[in-house]
């Protein structure tokens, strides 16, 4: 039962992360597309930036140049770190649960 609950929490965090990444992609595109020197010019660039940021890959090929864009980036980085932490904790809890079952 606990494993199912952990999976449900992980799934909810994952879905929330996708939603936040989509919103961040829209907002970063709006805030960066008309700025001289910006490299995020359309939604494709924005969604690629959001995905690489939320997954903590961060290639660096697209990055915000405006203050507003940098604030979106900070928020998205926090969401990505949270997502990775929840997934890691869920996997660790699963291993602990499996170890407890073997001991019984």
pTM, whole model, 2 decimals? 0.78
Q: Are 58 and 89 in contact (CB under 8 A)?
A: no
Least confident of 48-52, 68-72, 90-94: 90-94
b/e per residue 65-77 (b: at least 16 CB within 10 A) = ebeebeebbeebe
Q: pLDDT-based confidence at 84, cuts 50/70/90?
A: confident
Segment 97-103 shows an average pLDDT of 77
- From CA 67, how far away is CA 65, in angstroms rounded? 7
Q: What letter does residue 45 receive in the DSSP assignment?
A: H
Q: pLDDT-based confidence at 62, cuts 50/70/90?
A: very high
Q: 49: which 2 tokens? A: 């930036």
Q: 95: which 2 tokens? A: 């291993």
Segment 20-41 shows an average pLDDT of 94
Per-residue confidence (pLDDT) for residue 51, from 0 to 100 = 92
């Amino acid at each position: 039962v606990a494993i199912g609950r952990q999976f449900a929490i992980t799934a909810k965090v994952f879905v929330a992360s996708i939603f936040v990444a989509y919103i961040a992609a829209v907002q970063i595109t709006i805030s960066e597309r008309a700025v001289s020197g910006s490299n995020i010019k359309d939604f494709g660039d924005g969604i690629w930036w959001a995905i690489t940021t939320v997954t903590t890959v961060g290639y660096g090929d697209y990055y915000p140049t405006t203050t507003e864009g940098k604030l979106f980036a900070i928020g998205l980085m926090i969401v990505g770190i949270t997502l990775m932490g929840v997934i890691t904790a869920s996997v660790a809890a699963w291993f602990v649960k499996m170890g407890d079952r073997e001991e019984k």
